[in-house]
């Protein structure tokens, strides 16, 4: 898992008109000796889509025996309804709690919640959204028939990758970047596959795919940093 520095994840959200929400605060709780725990208010945002701000709370516990830590994401709705999801994570007390971001991912009303589940050299995320009164997993656009997955993947070792979100005439779109291993000759570059999806009937529908060669520079890859265009800010 990627190590972090500081006192916690740079959790953040943005003011987005459709969310009608703003502000991020954190509220660390003293860790008990028997079961180190940290709880934080990640954001106040309209998650359930009713136009009122809800509370998004992250609670992470580190067992003293060194086994897998767990993070629980809880949404406390303004109307009183509460829903939680619990994830086992490869994090340890010397690491910070996993990054959580809140922003607009799909085309449904309400904000979505992303959490970093990166381990080793692969940047991986899970995304959760509000459906029928509870939090459920939101699959990435590449999760199509014959290849189902709940994991959103970005950088994979030396293979660049990510997602760029945008809206066209009121319809949500995302462009998925999948890169090959970086090669150094004759110049530092990689082959890229770019697939565009649009949100239709509660799912991502592929629209077009193009192939190109891109320079292996941060400037070139930055537009596809995970969750670009959602209002989330990554801490690295």
Mean pLDDT, residues 91-105 taken together: 77
- Measured CA to CA, the distance from residue 75 to residue 126 in angstroms comes to 16
pLDDT of amino acid 64: 73
pLDDT of amino acid 184: 79
Higher-pLDDT residue of 95, 24: 95
Summarize pLDDT for 164-198 with one digit per residue, the tens.
999 999 999 999 999 988 887 778 899 999 999 99
pLDDT of amino acid 19: 31
Which two three-digit tokens encode residue 4?
A: 């972090």
Strands, DSSP E only, in 53-202? 54-61, 69-76, 82-89, 100-103, 112-116, 122-131, 134-137, 152-156, 161-168, 171-179, 189-200
Does the pLDDT at position 90 exceed 70? no
- Measured CA to CA, the distance from residue 152 to residue 220 in angstroms comes to 20
The torsion region of residue 24 among left (phi > 0), alpha (psi -120 to 50) and beta comes to beta
pLDDT of amino acid 186: 78
- Measured CA to CA, the distance from residue 65 to residue 234 in angstroms comes to 31
Over the chain, what is the mean pLDDT? 80
Does the pLDDT at position 115 exceed 90? yes
Is this prediction's pTM over 0.85? no
Domain range list for the chain: 1-138, 158-230
pLDDT of amino acid 74: 96
Mean pLDDT, residues 39-52 taken together: 92
pLDDT of amino acid 164: 95
Summarize pLDDT for 146-164 with one digit per residue, the tens.
788 999 988 877 788 999 9
The torsion region of residue 229 among left (phi > 0), alpha (psi -120 to 50) and beta comes to left
């Amino acid at each position: 898992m990627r190590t972090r520095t500081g006192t916690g994840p740079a959790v953040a959200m943005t003011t987005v008109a459709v969310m009608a929400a703003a502000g991020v605060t954190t509220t660390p709780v003293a860790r008990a000796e028997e079961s180190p725990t940290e709880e934080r208010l990640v954001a106040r945002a309209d998650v359930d889509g009713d136009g009122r701000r809800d509370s998004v709370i992250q609670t992470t516990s580190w067992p003293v025996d060194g086994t897998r830590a767990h993070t629980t994401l809880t949404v406390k709705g303004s109307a009183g309804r509460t829903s939680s999801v619990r994830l086992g994570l490869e994090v340890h007390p010397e690491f910070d709690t996993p990054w959580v971001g809140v922003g607009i991912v799909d085309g449904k009303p309400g904000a979505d919640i992303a959490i970093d589940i990166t381990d080793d050299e692969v940047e991986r995320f899970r995304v959760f959204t509000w459906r029928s009164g509870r939090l459920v997993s939101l699959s990435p656009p590449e999760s199509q028939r014959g290849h189902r997955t709940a994991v959103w993947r970005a950088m994979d070792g030396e293979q660049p990758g990510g997602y760029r979100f945008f809206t066209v005439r009121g319809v949500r779109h995302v462009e998925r970047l999948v890169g090959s291993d970086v090669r150094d000759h004759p110049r530092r570059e990689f082959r890229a596959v770019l697939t565009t999806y649009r949100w239709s009937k509660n799912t991502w529908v592929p629209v077009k795919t193009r192939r190109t060669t891109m320079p292996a520079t941060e400037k070139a890859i930055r537009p596809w940093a995970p969750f670009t265009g959602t209002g989330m800010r990554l801490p690295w």
